[in-house]
């Protein structure tokens, strides 16, 4: 069974994956989905709409998390402070233009919505501008993937189909690695919590008591 047949039979799951991926980030995946749409495996309009609303919902969520729990989260994760401060500085300097363009700014976009929620920005204003920005973002990357697919197909002919399958494999592998690493991290956190609840001393303390240094 080739990718086109899989897309026809399980297209709803692929669109759900696009939504989830863009909820967290995902411009590379949107480019791939646009390319798949050019191959006829997916519907481009559905790819675009799914990416649009996935990106919009994700940043709305981060905004409200920042607005409600921002300070508490920064106290718990102080290493996030530089990224948040950079987002706030961009917001103070460029205001509306930053809200419309933060998705395209590498190194800041991961903290931008959270920072804007923390800043006290009017929620309705952010929602309206975020809706427009998500539209531009999804159109740009889904469109680029579609056009890139057209150019690639004209240059490489039948190899374009193979290239699409290779990209699918790469992204499937990426998802698998992410899930594996995430599960290991959660298991380690759960184990640390169990040890803490049981009153077990930290590893460094145990080592000091045994006369070794860490």
Choose between 51 and 163: higher pLDDT: 51
The answer to whether residues 153 and 179 belong to one domain is: no
So what's the pLDDT on residue 49? 96
So what's the pLDDT on residue 156? 52
The answer to whether residues 153 and 65 belong to one domain is: yes
The answer to whether residues 198 and 106 belong to one domain is: no
The structural domain count of the chain equals 2
pLDDT band (50, 70, 90) for residue 192? confident
Choose between 202 and 186: higher pLDDT: 186
Percent of the chain whose pLDDT exceeds 70: 70
Spatial neighbors of 136 by CB under 8 A, at least 6 apart, are 100
- For 122-166, write each residue's pLDDT tens digit: 999 999 999 999 999 999 999 988 887 666 556 655 554 555 556
Look at residues 138, 157, 176 and tell me which one is the last residue of a structural domain. 157
Q: Is the dihedral of CA 189, 202, 73, 115 positive or negative?
A: negative
Look at residues 133, 157, 181 and tell me which one is the last residue of a structural domain. 157
- For 169-189, write each residue's pLDDT tens digit: 665 565 566 567 667 767 777
Q: Give me the helices (H) in the chain, please.
A: 3-24, 27-38, 44-76, 81-94, 96-101, 109-118, 123-156, 159-197, 203-209
Distance of CA 109 to the CA centre of its chain: 10
So what's the pLDDT on residue 9? 72
Range of the domain at 176: 158-214
Percent of the chain whose pLDDT exceeds 90: 29
pLDDT band (50, 70, 90) for residue 25? confident
The answer to whether residues 213 and 111 belong to one domain is: no
The answer to whether residues 103 and 191 belong to one domain is: no
Look at residues 136, 157, 178 and tell me which one is the last residue of a structural domain. 157
For residues 86-96, average pLDDT: 88
The answer to whether residues 141 and 178 belong to one domain is: no
The answer to whether residues 91 and 131 belong to one domain is: yes
The answer to whether residues 58 and 136 belong to one domain is: yes
- For 100-127, write each residue's pLDDT tens digit: 988 888 767 778 999 999 998 999 999 9
**Encoding tokens for residue 19?**
């939504």
- For 2-20, write each residue's pLDDT tens digit: 445 566 676 678 888 889 9
The answer to whether residues 134 and 35 belong to one domain is: yes
The answer to whether residues 22 and 127 belong to one domain is: yes
Choose between 74 and 171: higher pLDDT: 74
The answer to whether residues 62 and 134 belong to one domain is: yes
The answer to whether residues 147 and 163 belong to one domain is: no
């Amino acid at each position: 069974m080739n990718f086109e047949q899989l897309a026809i039979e399980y297209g709803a799951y692929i669109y759900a994956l696009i939504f989830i991926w863009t909820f967290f980030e995902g411009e590379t995946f949107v480019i791939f989905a646009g390319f798949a749409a050019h191959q006829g495996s997916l519907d481009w309009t559905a790819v675009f709409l799914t990416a649009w609303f996935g990106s919009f919902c994700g940043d709305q969520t981060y905004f409200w998390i920042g607005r409600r729990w921002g300070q508490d989260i920064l106290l718990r994760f102080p290493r996030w402070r530089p990224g948040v401060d950079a987002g706030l500085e961009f917001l103070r300097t460029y205001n509306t233009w930053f809200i419309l363009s933060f998705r395209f700014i590498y190194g800041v976009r991961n903290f931008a919505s959270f920072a804007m929620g923390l800043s006290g920005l009017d929620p309705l204003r952010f929602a309206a501008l975020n809706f427009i920005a998500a539209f531009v973002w999804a159109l740009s990357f889904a469109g680029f993937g579609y056009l890139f697919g057209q150019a690639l197909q004209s240059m490489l002919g039948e190899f374009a189909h193979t290239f699409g399958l290779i990209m699918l494999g790469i992204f499937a592998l990426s998802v698998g690695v992410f899930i594996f690493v995430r599960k290991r991290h959660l298991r380690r956190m759960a184990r640390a919590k169990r040890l803490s609840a049981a009153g077990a001393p930290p590893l460094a303390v145990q080592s000091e008591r045994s006369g070794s240094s860490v």
